[in-house]
Amino acid sequence: MKNVGQRAVVRLAGTYLAIIMSMSVAFSLIIYGLSSQEFHRRPPNDQQATSTIRSAEPGTVISIHSYLDTREDEAMAAIRLNLLLANLTVFLIGGLVSYLLAQHTLQPIEDNMAAQSRFVSDASHELRTPLTALLAANEVASMNPKLTLKQAKQVIADNVDDVKRLQKLTNSMLGLLKEDKLEIQKGKVGLQSVIARAMNLVVNQALAKDIAIDDKTKNLLLLGDRQSLEQLFTILLDNAIKYSNKGGTITISSSKKGKHVSVAVADAGIGMSDEVKSQIFTRFYRAEESRTTAGYGLGLSIAERIIKAHGGRINVDSEQNVGSTFTVILPAYNKKK
């Protein structure tokens, strides 16, 4: 990718330089032509015939015509040399300026191409989590020889819910590209049921790394969109699992203060630097030390988008090699009297 980008920069710089040199050579020819015309202007013939100039050599006299021819040749040679040096200078400086300008011109295009590449990678990862849960549920149901009609209907109902979540996730990702405002339908949502659903979606990833999830949330009510909130906490749990060490523990806790509910997702993983922490919610951002881990640049951007759509906020506390805590503050559901 870098080699292709470098070749594009060189080609564009060559185009810029060709334009600059064409203009420089054209102006040089104009200047040379005008100078030549001026030097070819002669005194009247009768004046040329009678006018003489005494040479530096004793007893030598030359005509003004011969003198002007000599001076003209010397002047034109000097002009040619100066124009050549000027064009050489323009070539060297223009080459450098053209290269820098080409880099500046192509940088946004290269950034967009890199962002698109990361988007494809991250989108596939974000879609993989609910798809894995959907596949696992159907495999378990298909291998159960005693599956009842009621259980089958429940599996189908769960599948429909999962497909709706996938649809909402897809819309969220497209919204990130367009930077559209997320549309949600707010209502009464139980926090514990949301967390339980999110935990169910990431259970396979947690088991693969022997990570325990300690749910300490209280039976609190939120004012929000259920599917969006499930997606939010699935992203936060998935992120915590991704950057936790094997055999670690992730803790989810909650509290209520006034009109808001606070939910904290804490891990004892690799943590992050202040520089990374300031960038993690930027679209398509992925920390250098995490480039081998898919999904870092998209999930948290979607999470922040969901939080903002609910009128909430998120705080991040992290220390390298100690762990990270993502604290989400959302509106509480207050029953109208």
Domain C-terminal end among 58, 93, 115: 115
pLDDT, greater one: 226 or 169: 226
Whether residues 96 and 211 fall in one domain:
no
- For residue 18, is it within any domain? yes
Q: Is the pTM of this model over 0.85?
A: no
The answer to whether the CB of 16 falls within 8 A of the CB of 98 is: yes
Whether residues 319 and 195 fall in one domain:
yes
How many structural domains comprise the chain?
2
Whether residues 235 and 108 fall in one domain:
no
What pLDDT is stored for residue 68 in this prediction? 63
What pLDDT is stored for residue 259 in this prediction? 93
Whether residues 201 and 307 fall in one domain:
yes
**pLDDT, mean over the chain:** 81
Looking at residues 162-166, what average pLDDT do you find? 78
Whether residues 94 and 216 fall in one domain:
no
Choose among 237, 44, 18, 23: nearest CA to 130: 237
Choose among 218, 219, 289, 209: nearest CA to 249: 209
- For residue 163, is it within any domain? no
Range of the domain at 297: 187-331
Task: Read off the pLDDT of residues 78-122 as tens digits, 9 standing for 90 and up.
Answer: 888 988 999 999 999 988 999 899 888 888 887 777 767 766 766
Whether residues 108 and 216 fall in one domain:
no
Task: Read off the pLDDT of residues 224-256 as tens digits, 9 standing for 90 and up.
Answer: 999 889 989 998 998 899 889 899 999 999 999
- For residue 149, is it within any domain? no
Whether residues 319 and 207 fall in one domain:
yes
- For residue 58, is it within any domain? yes
Looking at residues 139-146, what average pLDDT do you find? 88
3-class SS letters over the chain: CHHHHHHHHHHHHHHHHHHHHHHHHHHHHHHHHHHHHHHCCCCCHHHHHHCEEECCCCCCEEEHHHHHHHHHHHHHHHHHHHHHHHHHHHHHHHHHHHHHHHHHHHHHHHHHHHHHHHHHHHHHHHHHHHHHHHHHHHHHHHCCCCCCHHHHHHHHHHHHHHHHHHHHHHHHHHHHHHCCCCCCCCEEEEHHHHHHHHHHHHHHHHHHCCCEEEEECCCCEEEECHHHHHHHHHHHHHHHHHCCCCCCEEEEEEEEECCEEEEEEECCCCCCCHHHHCCCCCCCCCCHHHCCCCCCCCHHHHHHHHHHHCCCEEEEEEECCCEEEEEEEEEECCCCC
Whether residues 69 and 196 fall in one domain:
no
- For residue 218, is it within any domain? yes
Q: What percent of the chain has pLDDT over 70?
A: 78
What pLDDT is stored for residue 199 in this prediction? 93
Question: What confidence tier does 324 reach under pLDDT thresholds 50, 70, 90?
Answer: very high
CATH number, domain of 292, equals 3.30.565.10
pLDDT, greater one: 15 or 45: 15
The answer to whether the CB of 213 falls within 8 A of the CB of 250 is: yes
- For residue 121, is it within any domain? no
Task: Read off the pLDDT of residues 2-28 as tens digits, 9 standing for 90 and up.
Answer: 555 688 888 888 998 899 999 989 988
Cα 162 to its chain centre, rounded Å, is 30
Tokens, residue 121: 């990678």
- For residue 143, is it within any domain? no
Question: What confidence tier does 291 reach under pLDDT thresholds 50, 70, 90?
Answer: very low
Q: Any bridge partners for residue 319, and if so which?
A: 323
Task: Read off the pLDDT of residues 59-68 as tens digits, 9 standing for 90 and up.
Answer: 555 556 666 6
- For residue 28, is it within any domain? yes
Whether residues 103 and 234 fall in one domain:
no
Whether residues 93 and 218 fall in one domain:
no
Domain C-terminal end among 115, 135, 152: 115
Domain C-terminal end among 79, 98, 115: 115
pLDDT value at 337 more than 50? no
